[in-house]
Structure 1
């Protein structure tokens, strides 16, 4: 029997609170009589009340805040809403609305959710990790807030990204909420507007950098290995040089990956695989041009090289089919301003502009990862259509306001021939009597399933082979109805099932590669399904 105080406290415990769904017997057992309205309703009725409330909100940020408050008071109801209405809710709890939520994070702060590490914690990170109440964390999403979506340096306000990503882990792949840990490496900010804002809650100094920065990250990673040795670390929204430096340092040593580099790569590769079912161009023959040469674009290219090599191409042949254009034009050998991760794709070729390069190289696929809206102009789309019966256009930059072009523009400028995918959602487009369903290349299609598969198999690390498995598996979930609508991705409404299939294949591959610890379950599918969190009560 709960004491009187414990009975009241259960209503403030988001993990156990069911609010007006507590039955008459439960109200008696937990000393809740008198603390709730008379009616005892089902969770179904509660879901309807929340969805009706969302419809009454006039802006997406208001909807975000409503759902955030729901998460604070009733965790299972929150995840029931997200899982059952994922198409409507994902754009609210993640891209594009999460961008605005991050910008306003300090202003709207209500309750802590996650773990903050600052330079003042150096030497004591392992000690303060004991302040986190959970002993069995399995997934950690960490950012330093320096490159939040296409919005730049948001400092500690970037905590909205780890929170949102882990909500998707729970909703889309059934990771248990108490096994998730959002982390903000609050190393300062160079955003003067934030530093001047009296409401800003982050470490109020310029960013630490160099050796001091990497030492702090290393102490964090090592502290996690000690406190949570089985936990997966997902790096999120780090500036490109730091993102690659950290990934290269840790990817073979600990269970980790960078979602901007590797998650984006897997979901983009999946879309490329699916596009061949429409264009009838063999995957190994595809020429791809990237606008933007940061971590997302080069991550896609690196995984595509591995995919080409599985088709029989040499590494050099594979790299020769991938072309990059950045703010200074075509990436070629003669340039002396390239970063290390760009060098494999710097070809022996004359320097030229973006539009000149399209004419010269005539790519089958155009992938945008610039963070700059409108860079796929009408001329660009028309040139792609000139050289391809069905040009494939990926406008991947987030949030929606940063997309290289809109779905409507792609269809209109190509006279309905474009196969379009984006990073943020676009509504279906009716063009000349035909309805097109833009595919959203959302990383949520792959990272939750990859993480679940890694956890289930107790993998040591996550090599490229696992991302290739995820990409191939997702592409196989695209139905003929999806293809006929011009969509390169399956419907989000079935994302939990897609994550299940990816997790099974990833876990199976981990056992095959002998990077999994322990024995493979006799019935892997049942083992994964039984693990997945069910928010119903």
Structure 2
């Protein structure tokens, strides 16, 4: 007989008022719950009414997180019924408010592992304790140095890892008992946090350089020892470390950086969707990426790979890119280039006006891009003049203002439609309403990584992938971009979040098939579709042993 408190306080086992009378007797729960036995459907109705009673998005998120802490099955059953409504609450953009207030509102560790760089000798024990004997198949780890639009938030950023894992389960169906969020507390360079006596992380500057990378190696060693079958997902690492870490480990085991690869994949899928609409060839496009950080360079790398798969040499493909950061166009002699930026620089000798290319407007005017991608977190920088200049030189400009939250967006979808007379093909970083313009309703795709990483990750896990390579990444991008209905006037370049569960399932099957086709599966699997179906978790109550 299990201890009553142990069951009611275990979110993976707890059914609350849905425990039957027989279960209450068998598990020692008699008298610990009100007499009426509810169905899961009744609990969902009750919980949704409580959710609706909250007045702000942050209050709604706090309520949902409390439910998540108490009863995973009920939480995910509720989210399955309201995925479009809940996505911006449990993740972006409301998660930003939660991160800022995390230390002040802390009530529960949410089964996360907190690893302090001051005590690497405890890494293995910390991971083991947080896992609690569960069969971990997916780890999302963050050090929260480079949260998009926010920067360095130290241990508060664990909410990002928790939120990502929620989406993995809600969208693709990974068992929430098989996931583990991990916070690597390397310190923080956010002085506001270090000065806050209630901040829950290490109150010292961030560890950096080789000592930091040694810590990452110790984490990876412990993680692989304990969870050798897991997919390791990196999230919101700083621009100086993210690419370095991915490059070191990506050929050793199944691992994935969402900021580099996930963002790049969703953007590439959106571009492929846009090109399906415009009937143009990716080899004929010129790409300006505005914001040359982790996300911007990840996008460039994913497009570069696709151009090479389309038949261009690497040297030819690189000529299609123009990376713009706060200094302007990045040249080979630009100071302080990151490892990710260096391969995408241009030579000053290519431009008669190289000294003038210090602004986005000057670059657009000079190179006439067909694709403009914003990850700058600089609001309003895709101005009317810049957009009209671009539209004057290409019939269907592809414009993706991806920075979020809303206050950081480079432009609004409504303005882009208006300024290009309905010609722009748009994806935004935050949810955007349809735009009615001159008799046509334009549906706006959201360049949300949640369109990609749940299906991708689930497919890799189901197929027992040894590694994730460019072949599989490309297959997933084409699958997502191919969902676009090109026959509809005003069609979106990406599918809507409302179809998240359906296309995440399809993506998982395509990813698993790619792994099997390349013989990169660790375990024998006869059928990719069956492997995905067999692993899918459904939020319903099960018997407790």
TM-score of the aligned structures, taking structure 2 as reference length: 0.93
Alpha-carbon separation, structure 1, partners of 2:141 and 2:283: 35
Task: Structure 2 unaligned segments of length 5 or more: list them.
Answer: none
Q: 5 Å matches for 1:135-174? A: 135-174=134-173
After superposition, give the CA deviation of every residue in 1:314-363 in whole Å (9 maximum; x if it has no partner).
11111111211111111234534433322332223222132122122211
Residue aligned with 2:323, SS: strand
Q: How many residues align?
A: 532
1:399 is matched with 405
1:519 aligns with 2:524: yes
d(CA) in 1 for partners of 2:436 and 2:493? 17
The answer for the alignment partner of 2:442 in structure 1 is 436
Q: Of the candidates 86, 94, 97, which is equivalent to residue 94 of structure 2?
A: 97
1:484 to 489, 492, 503: 489
- Counterpart-to-counterpart distance in 1, 2:11 and 2:127: 22
**Residue 46 of structure 2 aligns with which residue?**
49
What is the Cα-based RMSD across aligned positions, in Å?
Answer: 1.8
Q: 256-265 or 78-87, which moves further after superposition?
A: 78-87
1:290-305, aligned counterparts within 5 Å?
A: 290-305=289-304
Shift of residue 410 of structure 1? 1.9
**Does the residue aligned with 1:510 lie in a helix, a strand or coil?**
helix
Give matches, 1:247-262, under 5 Å.
247-262=246-261
Residue 517 of structure 1 aligns to a residue whose secondary structure is coil
In structure 2, the partner of 1:121 is 119
Residues of 2 paired with 1:222 and 1:11: CA distance?
34
SS at match of 2:501: helix
Q: Distance in 2 between matches of 1:69 and 1:258?
A: 29
Say which of 378, 385, 408 aligns to 2:414.
Answer: 408
Shift of 1:32: 3.6
1:508 to 2:507 alignment: no
CA contact (8 A) 2:260 2:295 kept: yes
**Which residue is equivalent to 1:535?**
539
Aligned: 1:366 with 2:372: yes
The separation in 2 between residues aligned to 1:47 and 1:265, in whole angstroms, is 36
- 8 A Cα contact 2:134 2:177, kept in partner: no
Q: Which range moves more in the overlay, 394-403 or 344-353?
A: 344-353
Q: Secondary structure at the match of 1:131?
A: helix
Distance 1:333 1:203 in 2: 38
Corresponding residue number in structure 2 for 1:316: 315
Change in 2 beyond 3 A, CA 1:249/1:8 = closer
- From 469, 472, 476, the equivalent of 2:475 is 469
1:99–1:149 Cα contact (<8 Å) kept: no
Query: How far apart, CA to CA, are the structure 2 residues paired with 1:485 and 1:92?
Result: 28
SS in 2 for 1:340: coil
Tell me how far apart the structure 2 counterparts of residues 495 and 478 of structure 1 sit (CA, whole Å).
14
Q: How far 1:161 moved relative to its partner? A: 0.6
CA–CA distance in 2 between the matches of 1:305 and 1:359? 23
- Structure 1 Cα separation of the partners of residues 245 and 167 of structure 2: 24
User: 1:301 and 1:130 mapped to 2: Cα distance?
Assistant: 37
Distance 1:388 1:151 in 2: 34
Query: Which whole-Å CA distance do the structure 2 matches of 1:81 and 1:405 have between them?
Result: 34
CA–CA separation in structure 1 for the residues paired with 2:24 and 2:476: 45
Distance 1:25 1:478, change over 3 A: farther
Kept in 2: contact 1:47–1:77 (CA 8 A): yes
User: 8 Å contact 2:462–2:532 — kept in the other structure?
Assistant: yes
Q: Tell me, in whole angstroms, the C-alpha distance in 1 between the residues paired with 2:329 and 2:390.
A: 17
Asked if 1:498 is matched to 2:496, the reply is no
